[in-house]
Structure 1
Amino acid sequence: MNPQGCTNSSDFFCSRGISDMTAADKALWLALDQGGHGSRALVFDAAGRKRAEAAEAVQTCRKGDRVELDADELVRSLQSVAEAACAQLGDESRHLQGAGLATQRSNILCWRHSDDKPLSPVLSWQDRRAEKWLAGLDHQTIREKTGLVPNPHYGASKMAWCLENLPEVQQANEQEDLRMGPMAGYLAGRLSGSDILSDPVSASRTLLWNIHDGDWDPALCQMFGISEKHLPLCVDSDHGFGSLILGTHRIPLNILTGDAAAALFASGQPQPETAYIVLGTGAFVQRLVEHPGAHPRLLDSILWQSKGQRMLTLEGTVNGAGSAFSWLADTHKVDENTLFENLPQWLEDVQQAPIHQTPLFLNAVSGIGSPFWQAHAQSRFDRQATLPEQAVAVLESVVFLLWLNMQQMAEVLPAPRSIRVSGGLSHLDGLCRKLAALSSLPVQRDQESEGSARGLGFLLSGGGSGWQSEPTVFEPEVDQALTQRWQNWLRFVSWAPE
């Protein structure tokens, strides 16, 4: 398989027959979103209106470089929120036509093929325990084949770690009963009771998937010591992944993809002149491109693949976004929700302080992503400061890293005309204003901040004009103090160009 690239999204959707998916006016679509902090279920109608919503928190276990989740808990939480959203619909639940699931892209686990029992925790994309497995490998070949910068956030090295360190995984391997791979496919298979498959978006974040061929790469598997027979079959994003049983209803699970990929469809068909930013546990900025290999320090990412065609993006990653605020709350032993409740007022207070009194933050929560790729850098402030000052510095560090990645993109792509933001942190007006001021671009925010779920709704329904809702727009304003802190931050971050 050698999928063709496409940046004209209208042609892409027509060519894959998405218009055939358009249902009657009463049709409803269930979007499941499994993120770092919880599982969500949202129901949308054909016009893009939200009709039901349910959420449930999940536990993330952090210890040093290790970040784990419990696979059974994730399955239970997704089933629970799906049932809750369906119950909210009452009799209208009979109009549910299909469902989709979006998850964090680089999470992996191991399981027993015979009964789908998990043999490992879910190892989060933030987990960096297996960095040593990358030493001595041919990083240039990995880069050329995958479009990714080799680092421990991706799945292959963690799969190798499981094979070497987990007795249950070793036993299943000896008994030829082992499977391993992306979390997304495992959750879909457990929810639907069907075969566990992998979608291309999630498979592409393992370092085992060839971005040019659109499938697992034998040479990469051999490089990491992973047998191809242990990996699930990789299929199209809309291949169909069984059905969900919700009460008396059987709902086809039509789509499986990554959360940061689905979010680009939240406001309709993605446009080449827009920079899309997803602000969740991490933050990701993406621009549509036709071909991989555009920039050596950024990522080539699969946005969607179906029927021999695909959409690609050039991507920059900020590892610490929502997780950076979690880190700050843990450091000060304060409630994270309380921190966010106070943050708008803190932004106003710090905005009025002299520049030299405002701290700067080297944001290395879960390591520094693009364009520096420093997996084990240590987070630090440049001076002693109060919690309110540190919270603002954390927020500005996310803005600074995003803008730095956009500057890298500007080396190979035309300047964008606007920025479109989604995700949990996008509700922070102060973040949006700072991003607009620093970039001198209008920042558009959709009314529905859960962009991944809304993007799934668009893909499931076939889209339409109703999905192009009027966003809140933050026009750029001159902020000389912010510009000065940006320059100071570049000097503070030792890897940044002068």
Structure 2
Amino acid sequence: MTRIAAIDQGTTSTRALVAGDGTAAIAASVVHGQHYPEAGRVEHDPEELLASIRTCLDAAGPIDAIGIDNQGESCLAWDDATGRAISPVIVWQDSRTSDTIERLKAEGAEALTLERAGLPLDPYFSASKLGWIMENVAEARPLAAAGRLRLGTTDAFFLDRLAGGFGTDVTTASRTSLLNLASGQWDPDLCALFGVPIEALPPVRPTVAAHGAIRLAGRDVPVTASVVDQQAALYGHGCRRPGDIKVTFGTGAFVLAVTGDVILRAPERGLLPTVAWSTAEGITYALDGGVYTAGSAMDWAKRLGLFSDYAEIDGFTGPSAIERGIAFVPALAGLACPHWRRDAAGLFLGLTLEAGPLDLARAVMEGVALRTAEVVEAMAERMPLSDAISIDGGMARNSYFCGFLAHALGREVVAPGAGELTVLGTAALAGAGDGLALAGAGPDRRYRPSGDAGPARRRFAEAIDLAKRWGR
């Protein structure tokens, strides 16, 4: 029996899933630190992330192949000769390059990034972060001059240090703003725009490919798949045909819809073409839209004391908060698709003396659902979508949230019982095959829309407009 270890190296933790004979189980999970050295800056310790992957692999037992999914836009620099990181991991949430992005926008550079990479100018993507490293990390330019500098997203660092396979896959590369989507290779003009030396970047490989081998218990175990976490989740949801769509509710809400062999561009709606995966059969593309704060908004509400246990906010009854005039715009880190306004502010609206903490917590949940509905609506304007939307992540476990989301979307919402769909997708891509289910997984939960969400959607649109005008 072939045993596959899938590593999910996420924003807050690293997990290992072991799959074999059609079943799968989580073998280990390691939480790692979040570092906030200054306002707007979010960092990880590269060595801590490597150690967490090693710990998870050691817990997996004997395995025959490895798949790794990564955070996507998080990136760093290191020394080719020693493997030593010369910068922290600059996390996808980090906004330190906002001024650079605004300058490039003012110079009209966004036309180039939209044409070549399919992405707007935003500090969310890796390119400006890598350019920041070149300008601000003292060792970067001397190492580049010596031909020893390596720049890349976290997957390239992991593969280089652990597997001797310096490289990145095309899904991760498509999230940098440096990849030419049509060619599937680094674009010299984009690299020049951001001040990133193209020769320091990793080779771009297919998602399913030979990515090196990791020495475990005296054996070299091949890494057979490397992929961005959200694309792994798309695969894990079973989305294969154009129009298949999923939403993962983690730190943010990540919406992806398969577009097949078509690069679908919709910059006027803030939607991003991206690579879903690449195999021997070729590249499959997707359309991407996101909400910056989803689960992180709920964690923020909990820290404020609006609720103390997630069970408290699972069984709301009666009219929704927004139907009672209470709304929350979860723009705590700005607004992503379809607005792309980093300067927008989070807002509570409609508060009265009767509003209690749980009313506010309910409004936060509804705000995430209504923001997600904005993204899905923008996608539906550009392509036919499947009738049902598959969701996963922490908020997908909340019955009230799932029901309200179905109401806001006007579509059936399915929360698959298989669980852990990101890492299951990684395992499937690495060779474990489709149809995997987590040991002890329950049945799918289905939520059908009820009532007319038009009034709530229109009220929320007013709140969004205020959030953009309030700004920061």
TM-score by length of 1: 0.85
CA distance in 1: counterparts of 2:315 and 2:451, whole angstroms? 13
Distance in 2 (alpha carbons) for counterparts of 1:450 and 1:417: 23
Structure 2, unaligned runs of 5 or more: none
* AA partner of residue 373 (structure 1): W
Structure 2 counterparts to residues 2-401 of structure 1, below 5 A: 26-47=1-22, 49-62=23-36, 63-86=38-61, 93=62, 96-134=63-101, 135=103, 136-192=107-163, 194-268=164-238, 270-289=240-259, 290-296=261-267, 297-307=270-280, 309-330=282-303, 332=304, 339=308, 342-349=309-316, 351=318, 357=324, 359-384=326-351, 386-401=356-371
**Residues 343 and 388, structure 1, Cα contact 8 Å, conserved in 2:** no
Give a deviation string over 1:343-391, Cα, whole Å, max 9, x none: 3433534745775656311212332110000113222212555442332
Structure 2 partner of 1:14: none
Q: Is the 8 A contact 2:156 2:168 kept in 1?
A: yes
The 2-side partners of 1:351 and 1:109 are apart by 49
Alpha-carbon distance in structure 2 between the residues aligned to 1:423 and 1:354: 23
CA distance in 2, matches of 1:424, 1:36: 14
Instruction: Give the Å deviation of 1:428.
Output: 2.0
Moved more, 266-275 or 430-439: 266-275
Say how many residue pairs are matched: 455
Over residues 200-246 of structure 1, what are the superposed CA-to-partner deviations in whole Å (9 max), with x where a residue is unaligned? 11111111110001000011111111111111111111222222233
**Percent identity (aligned):** 26
Q: Is the 8 A contact 1:367 1:377 kept in 2?
A: yes
Contact 1:111–1:117 (Cα < 8 Å) also in 2: yes
Deviation at 1:470, TM superposition (A): 8.3
| Residue matched to 2:426 | 456
Distance (Å, rounded) in 1 between the aligned partners of 2:322 and 2:382: 33
Shift of 1:269: 5.2
How far residue 68 of structure 1 moved from its aligned partner, in angstroms, is: 0.8
Is residue 2:456 matched to residue 1:485?
yes
Q: Which amino acid aligns with 1:115?
A: T
Rounded Cα–Cα distance in structure 2 between residues aligned with 1:355 and 1:303: 35
Aligned partner of 2:380 among 410, 417, 420: 410
**One-letter amino acid matched to 1:149:** P
Query: Are 2:76 and 2:130, in contact at CA under 8 Å, matched by a contact in 1?
Result: yes
Q: Secondary structure at the match of 1:493?
A: helix
SS in 2 for 1:399: helix
Q: Which amino acid aligns with 1:459?
A: L
Deviation at 1:333, TM superposition (A): 6.7
Equivalent residues of 1:201, 1:303 under 8 A apart = yes
| Runs of at least 5 residues in structure 1 that lack an aligned partner in the other structure | 1-25, 87-92
2:155 & 2:254 partners in 1: Cα distance? 19
Q: Is the partner of 2:285 in helix, strand or coil?
A: strand
Partner amino acid, structure 2, of 1:456: T
Find the counterpart in structure 2 of residue 473 from structure 1.
445
1:124-143 residue CA offsets vs partner (Å, 9 max, x unmatched): 11111102222225211110
SS of 2:205's equivalent in the other structure is coil
Question: Is residue 363–residue 379 contact of structure 1 (8 Å, CA) maintained in 2?
Answer: yes
Which letter does structure 2 place at the counterpart of 1:161?
W
CA contact (8 A) 2:243 2:385 kept: yes
Q: Deviation of residue 460 (structure 1)? A: 2.0
TM, length-normalised to structure 2: 0.89
